Chain A
């Protein structure tokens, strides 16, 4: 009976999730491009050999990971601070919360254009400030070593409110009595934060980390609009590479291979991270008397 009841949901999930995945897996084993006249032809795993030897793929994996980890860590740090501030009983709290959420409500393409303008040289505000100070122009979007940081800044600006909101929800679920009790026991603010706040919001932190990391690894629109992957491909993400292969080069077989390849890499590293976290958790709990 239970099986029958979950059947509709299971069917729906397999339709929207499993089917594309299996289709991509199938596609990754075929030559399917404008060169084959858009007909799928077996190519004995040539796509996979090409992927393993494709420097650009590995460079993009590195760049995407660098982008995802830096931006999500920064976002988390800022979000915890913002959430704690928003949790205080201050005047006009509702208004402040609404304002904080604004960046998140903006469409990514629009805000990416805004940031492209902010970093514009010579007319953008940042270059204007440096020239007022008599400094040399920085040319942020034309210097491969630092352009990726500009994309991180834009991403942090946009998605910190999202994490802050989730953590704020976590903060509000903590009963005030706990803090009261700790204070009666003689605990200070710092120990309240370490012993009550952090452990109780950790499920929320974990949740937002999962959401955000998955999103950041798939980053596309922000970078496409801000830099188009340049300069010198230094900001190209893995999703952009897969997109270029499918839509520009009409090479759907290789594009599918890139997607499946990065999916495998990402899920393996997530699994490893999960194992490590679990191990350290059990180690810590075992140490306690």
Chain B
């Protein structure tokens, strides 16, 4: 009898101790959150991440993986890890064009439960575009990014507003030998060309893909592409523009060899460096548009998504909230020139006083247009890039190239059999 009691006592004691230990261990448990970001973002957020790890010491620890610098290489890494169904990442910093594809593949989580209406209302409207797919919020904006038209304040009083004005102004400058080239942009066969195309097309009142309708063979599209071709034919843009990505365009403009440049906000900081020939002589606006048509700016932008397979979604949401807080955004804008997304910062009189371009960025952010948000976007973009490149390098006429692009795009649309509409 006595023996029995002592055994049950001992068993009870073991039970109590183990459950206490287990409770203690779960109290001590730290959520390890892995974040994948392109290297430049990983570098610029180092301090913020360190501060987070200090603030959440013993609860959440963030580990940042430095991904490749180039957007496409970054996507390759992310997809390779996701396709194996065993991604080590809880959070991935995503480009705006990946969203539909990733969401359709079932890799992303709806963020609505962590980022409610109140929070979305704090974000500039332009920066909220491109975060939804089929009415689900799949991405939370981190850095806004949009196409800008840089102009030389020492060569003209105000930037051109319409396509014709752009041609007139640059030709006068070139004829007077004030500047070598009129306008440099991204004409290489890659995603940047699709961004330029969308901006110009919108400025001519056209539409790329609107629901089930593809507008590539409409007069607006033809006029837009003819105008781009005209720029090269009239030597306003150098022939070599058809092999320009962002760095090449920036280099020409930075050396003072061009009156205008289409580029992203990052170029501003580069143009203000000491080795820049145009330092202090640059203004910012958006792409030209026909009279009566609103000017447009292609939305770039990066944002955080939580992976469906992550086992620590709540903690991941906390990390995202911290990294995109007003304080972090302000720091990133002042130190690295990252365009903020929170309305508060654009109304901060001190910040407006400190930065000469923040209001220009705000204006551009209100004119953003997103590239078609379809899981098959990459195919559509590839089609237009091929044909535009052929047109701009004289391989095809405008009509020929655009008709083929229209036909090929329709084929892609019909092959998806309305699945994504």
Query: Does residue B104 face the partner (Cβ distance < 8 Å to A)?
Result: yes
A142 lies within 8 A of B242 (CB): yes
Residues of A within 8 A of B385 (CB): 230
Residues of A within 8 A of B34 (CB): none
Partner of B386, one of A34, A37, A38, A232: A232
Of B240, B242, B382, B396, most buried by chain A (CB within 10 Å of CB) is B240
Partner of A228, one of B190, B379, B392, B396: B190
Query: Does residue B378 face the partner (Cβ distance < 8 Å to A)?
Result: yes
Would you list which residues of chain B between 362 and 421 have a CB under 8 Å from chain A? 375-376, 378-379, 382, 385-386, 389-390, 392-393, 395-396, 415-416, 419
Residues of B within 8 A of A228 (CB): 188-190
Query: Does residue B76 face the partner (Cβ distance < 8 Å to A)?
Result: yes
Q: A37-B105, A249-B376 are in contact. Are A231 and B189 (CB under 8 A)?
A: yes
Alpha-carbon separation in the docked complex, A250 to B420 (Å):
15
B243 lies within 8 A of A231 (CB): yes
B382 lies within 8 A of A248 (CB): yes
A247 lies within 8 A of B79 (CB): yes
Partner of A120, one of B72, B104, B248, B378: B248
Q: A34-B105, A37-B105 are in contact. Are A247 and B75 (CB under 8 A)?
A: yes
Tell me the minimal C-beta distance from A220 to chain B in angstroms.
Answer: 12
Alpha-carbon separation in the docked complex, A139 to B395 (Å):
15
Of A37, A141, A250, most buried by chain B (CB within 10 Å of CB) is A250
Residues of A within 8 A of B392 (CB): 231
A229 lies within 8 A of B376 (CB): no
A34 lies within 8 A of B101 (CB): yes
A229 lies within 8 A of B189 (CB): yes
B104 lies within 8 A of A34 (CB): yes
B379 lies within 8 A of A143 (CB): no
Alpha-carbon separation in the docked complex, A233 to B384 (Å):
11
Alpha-carbon separation in the docked complex, A247 to B376 (Å):
12
Query: Does residue A7 face the partner (Cβ distance < 8 Å to B)?
Result: no
Alpha-carbon separation in the docked complex, A61 to B82 (Å):
31
Tell me the minimal C-beta distance from A137 to chain B in angstroms.
Answer: 7
Residues of B within 8 A of A142 (CB): 239-243, 393
Alpha-carbon separation in the docked complex, A37 to B101 (Å):
10
A144 lies within 8 A of B106 (CB): no
A-B CB contacts (within 8 Å), total count: 100
Alpha-carbon separation in the docked complex, A143 to B240 (Å):
9
Tell me the minimal C-beta distance from B417 to chain A in angstroms.
Answer: 8
Tell me the minimal C-beta distance from B232 to chain A in angstroms.
Answer: 9
B239 lies within 8 A of A139 (CB): yes
Tell me the minimal C-beta distance from B375 to chain A in angstroms.
Answer: 5
Would you list which residues of chain A between 90 and 144 have a CB under 8 Å from chain B? 120-123, 137, 139, 141-144
* Closest residue on chain A to residue B82 by CB atoms: A38
Query: Does residue B120 face the partner (Cβ distance < 8 Å to A)?
Result: no
Query: Does residue A49 face the partner (Cβ distance < 8 Å to B)?
Result: no
Would you list which residues of chain A between 126 and 177 have a CB under 8 Å from chain B? 137, 139, 141-144
Alpha-carbon separation in the docked complex, A247 to B83 (Å):
10
* Closest residue on chain A to residue B240 by CB atoms: A121
Query: Does residue B251 face the partner (Cβ distance < 8 Å to A)?
Result: yes
Of A139, A229, A231, A250, most buried by chain B (CB within 10 Å of CB) is A231
B243 lies within 8 A of A37 (CB): no
Q: A123-B251, A232-B389, A244-B382 are in contact. Are A227 and B243 (CB under 8 A)?
A: yes
A137 lies within 8 A of B106 (CB): no
B376 lies within 8 A of A35 (CB): yes
Query: Does residue B238 face the partner (Cβ distance < 8 Å to A)?
Result: yes
Residues of A within 8 A of B101 (CB): 34, 250
Tell me the minimal C-beta distance from B287 to chain A in angstroms.
Answer: 22
Partner of B243, one of A38, A230, A247: A230
Alpha-carbon separation in the docked complex, A135 to B243 (Å):
20
B105 lies within 8 A of A250 (CB): yes
Q: A228-B189, A230-B190, A232-B390 are in contact. Are A35 and B239 (CB under 8 A)?
A: no
Alpha-carbon separation in the docked complex, A139 to B382 (Å):
23
Partner of B379, one of A229, A234, A247, A249: A249
* Closest residue on chain A to residue B190 by CB atoms: A228
Alpha-carbon separation in the docked complex, A234 to B390 (Å):
9
**Can you give 16 A-B contacts (C-beta < 8 A)?**
A35-B415, A37-B105, A120-B243, A122-B252, A122-B257, A142-B239, A142-B393, A144-B395, A230-B243, A231-B243, A231-B390, A231-B392, A232-B189, A233-B390, A249-B376, A249-B379
A interface, CB within 8 angstroms of B: 34-35, 37-38, 120-123, 137, 139, 141-144, 227-234, 244, 247-250
Question: 8 nearest interchain CB pairs?
Answer: A230-B189, A121-B240, A232-B390, A141-B243, A142-B242, A248-B378, A231-B393, A232-B389
